[in-house]
Amino acid sequence: MEATAAARAVRRVSTGTLARAFFRSLFLQAAWNPRGMQNVGFADAIAPALEELYPDPAERAKAAARHLEFFNCHPYLAAAILGGAIRLEERVAAGEAPPESVSRFKTTLGPPFAALGDGFFWLALRPVAALAAAVTEPFLGLGCVLVFLGLYNAVHLPVRVWLFATGYSRGEGVVDAVARAHFASGTPLLKACGALLAGALVARSLLEAGLPHRPFHVLLVASTIVVAYAFLPGLGVTRVTYIAALLGLALGARFF
């Protein structure tokens, strides 16, 4: 076994196969299920690479079965893990590394990358893009849809490709590359931008809804928030804001 393993050179996966794997990774969550989460999608995405690396059908099936283990990550950052896993599989196929190293790589990096991606993409980038679109909507009209899609995908798509490429070229070194990629430092900055945009949006809507003709309504809505929060602390800020927003909507619709 040792002799044959040493005799095999490390086989590289071709660029076309990498592209196929990346394309399939866009469908990572198609069969998301509570037991294995993204495992079916991941196994499907890595299948083209396995096909090239393991010419022997029995070995290939064994490798494919390995990738049906539990896997969960952020759908975008999973691209980095996919790229790294392909690099590791090259070594496993050449006999340089044990098959468990791939599993270990996936289970170790999944949760931290998921946290990074959730914070950056879901909780910062998307709200900011949506708020920017909402703020520009009065000026751009339908163009605001393009603002949303443009802002979001101008970051999302290059990052996804970069993650996959870096994962493949660095293997286990992808951790350092991602750590230096300003995900963690960019998140608070984006969130601050989001807060700013949200404030601008609220101010504009309030001005538009109340001030020209009915300043008292704005005052009423604002004082509802303050009074309810002061006297009914059990209600919580979110509910108070919603109640006040409902009141504002009712006033705005001229029900009374």
Partner 1 sequence: MLRLFGLAALAALAGGVASVERKGALQLMLSRPIVLAPLMGWLLGDVEGGLMLGVPLELLFLGGVNLGGSLPDNETLLAAALTSMVIPAGMAAGTGVDAPLAALGLTLLFPLALYGRRLERASEARNQQLLDAALARAAQGDAAAARVNLRGLLLPFSSRRFLPGCGASARQGHSRPSRGRGTPSGPWGRRAPCAPSATSAPPPSRQSPPRRSSPSS
Residues making contact with partner 1 (CB under 8 A): 24, 26-27, 29-37, 39-44, 47, 50-51, 54, 57-58, 60-61, 63-65, 67-68, 72, 75-76, 114, 118, 122-123, 126-127, 129-131, 133-134, 137, 141-142, 144-145, 148-149, 152-153, 156-157, 201, 249, 252-253
Which residue, 173 or 188, has its beta carbon nearer to partner 1?
Answer: 188
Q: Which two tokens stand for residue 74?
A: 């952020």
Which residue, 50 or 109, has its beta carbon nearer to partner 1?
Answer: 50
CB 105 within 8 A of CB 85: yes
Which residue, 118 or 172, has its beta carbon nearer to partner 1?
Answer: 118
Q: Who's near 237: CB < 8 A, 6+ residues apart?
A: 229
Q: Residue 190: helix, strand or coil by DSSP?
A: helix
- Angstrom distance (rounded) from CA 205 to CA 214: 13
Residue 99 beta carbon to partner 1: minimum distance, rounded to whole angstroms: 15
Residue 37 beta carbon to partner 1: minimum distance, rounded to whole angstroms: 7
For residue 96, give the DSSP letter. Answer: S
Around 46, how many Cα atoms within 13 Å sit in the side-chain half-sphere? 34
Residue 2 beta carbon to partner 1: minimum distance, rounded to whole angstroms: 26
Residue 12 beta carbon to partner 1: minimum distance, rounded to whole angstroms: 20
Which residue, 49 or 228, has its beta carbon nearer to partner 1?
Answer: 49
Which residue, 43 or 178, has its beta carbon nearer to partner 1?
Answer: 43
For residue 87, give the DSSP letter. Answer: H
Residue 72 beta carbon to partner 1: minimum distance, rounded to whole angstroms: 7
Around 195, how many Cα atoms within 13 Å sit in the side-chain half-sphere? 6
Compute, in degrees rounded to 10, the torsion defined by CA atoms 200, 204, 206, 207.
Answer: 130
CB 92 within 8 A of CB 175: no
Residue 43 beta carbon to partner 1: minimum distance, rounded to whole angstroms: 4
Q: Which two tokens stand for residue 48?
A: 């083209």
Residue 15 beta carbon to partner 1: minimum distance, rounded to whole angstroms: 22
Distance of CA 202 to the CA centre of its chain: 27
- Angstrom distance (rounded) from CA 40 to CA 236: 41
Which residue, 146 or 232, has its beta carbon nearer to partner 1?
Answer: 146
Which residue, 138 or 173, has its beta carbon nearer to partner 1?
Answer: 138
Buried b (16+ CB within 10 A) or exposed e, 132-143: bbbbbbeeeeee
